[in-house]
Amino acid sequence: MSLVIDDLTVTIGDRRVVDGVSLHVPDGARVGMIGESGSGKSLTTLAVLGLLPDGARATGSIRLDGRELLGASERELAGLRGRVVGTVFQDPGTTLDPVVTVGRQIAEPLRLHTRIGRRDARARAVAAAAEVGLPEPESVVDLYPHQLSGGQRQRVGIAMALINRPGLVLADEPTTALDVTTQAEVLALFQRLVDERRTSLLFVTHDLAVLSRITDHAAVLSHGRVVESGPVEQLLHRPEHEVTRGLVEATRATTWRAS
């Protein structure tokens, strides 16, 4: 499934927080979007979902397999969310409902978009939990989010995003809230699942090291604009824009400190 973002501009009040962003995720490709916080990455993903905050206005064009999403009816968008477009959010500690069991949350998109009974939904949730490597999937689905570790919660988030086998996955900093070891595990899981299903992926992060492990192409955002884009290797080794250079420096710094 291909995603084409063309000249997307998001204004809040009279501030242009996303300013003419264009980005292309070809069918089955893994594309990254990188930038420091406040650069408009998250708003771009929310615009794709049609979930911009109150008072934000988007112009330009967002096409999913040629279908225009900007200006589409809420009903049409709701039918795409969770079914055709899966989303993994940043902080699994806050994106899971604390009072709903893990299994019911994993199965929620399924129950919503398909006619499936409670029992079948549970079985699918167990299968999905096993697929993302949650321990004891049979019993883990009856636990509440606070009973899981951060990495396990993000696995739940991934299971939830992928349960309807979406053609496009949006990942908004899915590993940022995790510690380094868990980050590597979750990234590997992500990579495997996306590969297996030939899902298109838009991966948002501020960490070039993470990006280089999972995507081939990336766009660098700064103050709502794309300042540089190209193969990740090129961004990493021959950065042209100073923002990109800054991100590379930051990556080196953390890598050195780690080693």
Partner 1 sequence: MRRGAFVRDLLGRPQGAFGVGWLAVVVACAVVSRFWTPLDPFDTDPYSAWLTPSPAHPFGTDSVGRDIFSYVFAATGTTVVVAVASGVVATVVGVGLAALGSLTARWVRESVAVLIDVLVAFPTLLIAMALAAAFGGSLTVVVVAVGIGYGVSIARVSRSEIRRVARTDYVLAARANGLGTGAVLRRHLLPNVAPVFVVQLSLSMATSVLAEAGLSFLGYGAPADTASWGRLLSDLQKFIGIHPGSVVWPGLAITLTVLALNLLGDAVRDASDPRLRSGRAGRGAAAGPTGRPTGPTGPVTPAAPSRPVAPEVVS
Where does this chain bind partner 1 (CB under 8 A)? 49, 51, 54, 74, 78-83, 87, 89, 91, 93-101, 108-109, 112-113, 134-136, 139-140, 142-152, 157, 160
CA distances (Å), origin 88, targets 96, 149, 202: 11, 17, 10
- CA dihedral sign of residues 130, 135, 141, 144: negative
DSSP readout, 153-178? Answer: HHHHHHHHHHTT--SEEEEESTTTTS
CA distances (Å), origin 166, targets 61, 82, 200, 236, 254: 21, 7, 9, 30, 34
Residue among 152 and 222 whose Cβ is closer to partner 1: 152
Considering the complex, what minimum distance in angstroms separates the CB of residue 228 from partner 1? 28
Considering the complex, what minimum distance in angstroms separates the CB of residue 237 from partner 1? 35
- CA dihedral sign of residues 53, 227, 241, 28: positive
Residue among 13 and 98 whose Cβ is closer to partner 1: 98
Residue among 35 and 157 whose Cβ is closer to partner 1: 157
Considering the complex, what minimum distance in angstroms separates the CB of residue 76 from partner 1? 11
Residue among 63 and 113 whose Cβ is closer to partner 1: 113
Considering the complex, what minimum distance in angstroms separates the CB of residue 244 from partner 1? 29
